[in-house]
Amino acid sequence: MRADDIGCGSVPRMRDNGLLMEDYLNAAETAARAAGEMLRQNFPKPLRVNSTTAHDIKLEIDVQTQQLITDSLLQKFPDHALYGEEGIVGDQSSAHQWVVDPLDGTVNYFYRIPHFCVSIALRLEGKVVVGVIYDPMRDEMWSVRRGERPTLNGIEFRVSDRTELSQCVISVGLAKTSETIDTNLPLLQEMIHRVRKCRILGSAALDMAYVACGRFDAYIEKGISLWDIAAGWILVESAGGKVELQPRPDMKDKYSIIASNGRIDLGL
């Protein structure tokens, strides 16, 4: 999947086969809330581990949550496709493709750290037109449809207006493999001396949401997947920020990303 296939550029129509973008946004919010409720209810319960690596964990609840989202969306829109962390459904060349991370922050979830979210985006003809990120533990819903201002629990927001890097708080992701950790560590070492604070919180989607609403001034990672950042991408850009995304030629379906308020010079 190419970077130009996942753009957030203009979309020629806001009505699609008799449906408004509002219909798609409402469907995404409904699915995200249902998935978030499942995650919240299971948060204190024993969890079944499907697989582990040195720096990552896959849980049965990841799969169950994506299935809930898939059922919710594709029952409403049966001709759509879904591209998710836990698998794909439907014809991926469809004009409508839902991009889903059912549980972004799985390691946090497993260790009972209440910092994780559900991320859902819709691509129409290759452009992201709807984005929703839901944090069920704080009951915070970031949402946007193309061409409108994003909202957090119904209240519009914008990126921060900070311009001095020394006053900024940024997130630097370390990803999940030794290769991506080795790539990101020098970046963290460089940035931690230039900004007020660096944060590593373990959820790329929430990092993007935090940039969008001004809690963070930038998020940087060199080895991220589309489902982690698709919804956050449209949120950041709709809030007045800037997102730079480049494919990693050495890592299949991975990207380097810089999301910022668009006012700071990161020197990268």
Residues 73 and 194 both lie in one domain: no
Distances (CA, A) of 46 to 8, 17, 42, 50, 95: 39, 44, 8, 13, 40
CB–CB of 221/264 below 8 Å? Answer: no
Residue 90 confidence (pLDDT) above 80: yes
Identify whether 267 is part of a domain: no
Render pLDDT for 112-124 as a digit per residue (tens, 0 to 9): 999 999 999 999 9
Residues 146 and 226 both lie in one domain: no
Residues 139 and 50 both lie in one domain: yes
Identify whether 13 is part of a domain: yes
Residues 67 and 137 both lie in one domain: yes
Mean pLDDT of 127-134: 97
Identify whether 265 is part of a domain: no
Q: What is the CATH number of the domain that holds 209?
A: 3.40.190.80
Mean predicted lDDT score pLDDT of the chain: 91
Residues 216 and 176 both lie in one domain: yes
Cα gap 113→209, rounded to integer Å: 18
Last residue of a domain, which of 139, 156, 173? 156
Contacts of 185 (CB under 8 A, 6+ apart): 174
Residues counted in the chain: 268
Last residue of a domain, which of 156, 188, 204? 156
pTM of the predicted model, to two decimals?
A: 0.92
Residues 73 and 176 both lie in one domain: no
Residues 27 and 110 both lie in one domain: yes
pLDDT score of 15: 60
Identify whether 268 is part of a domain: no
Identify whether 175 is part of a domain: yes
Q: Cβ of 200: how many Cβ atoms within 10 Å?
A: 11
Residues 148 and 173 both lie in one domain: no
Last residue of a domain, which of 103, 121, 156? 156
Residues 198 and 146 both lie in one domain: no
CB–CB of 155/149 below 8 Å? Answer: no
Identify whether 182 is part of a domain: yes
* Among 72-76, 187-191, 207-211, the least confident range: 187-191
Q: pLDDT band at 99, cuts 50/70/90?
A: very high
Q: What is the CATH number of the domain that holds 152?
A: 3.30.540.10
Residues 177 and 53 both lie in one domain: no
Our count of domains for the chain comes to: 2
Q: For residue 230, which of 22, 6, 16, 74 has the smallest C-alpha distance?
A: 6
Residues 142 and 106 both lie in one domain: yes
Residues 144 and 176 both lie in one domain: no
In terms of DSSP H, where are the helices of the chain? Answer: 21-42, 60-76, 106-110, 178-192, 204-212, 226-238
pLDDT score of 13: 46
Identify whether 36 is part of a domain: yes
Mean pLDDT of 219-224: 92
Residue 185 confidence (pLDDT) above 90: no
Tokens representing residue 143 in the block = 């949402």
Q: Give Rg (Cα) of the chain.
A: 17
Identify whether 69 is part of a domain: yes
The domain containing residue 31 runs over which residues? 3-156
Tokens representing residue 226 in the block = 């589309």
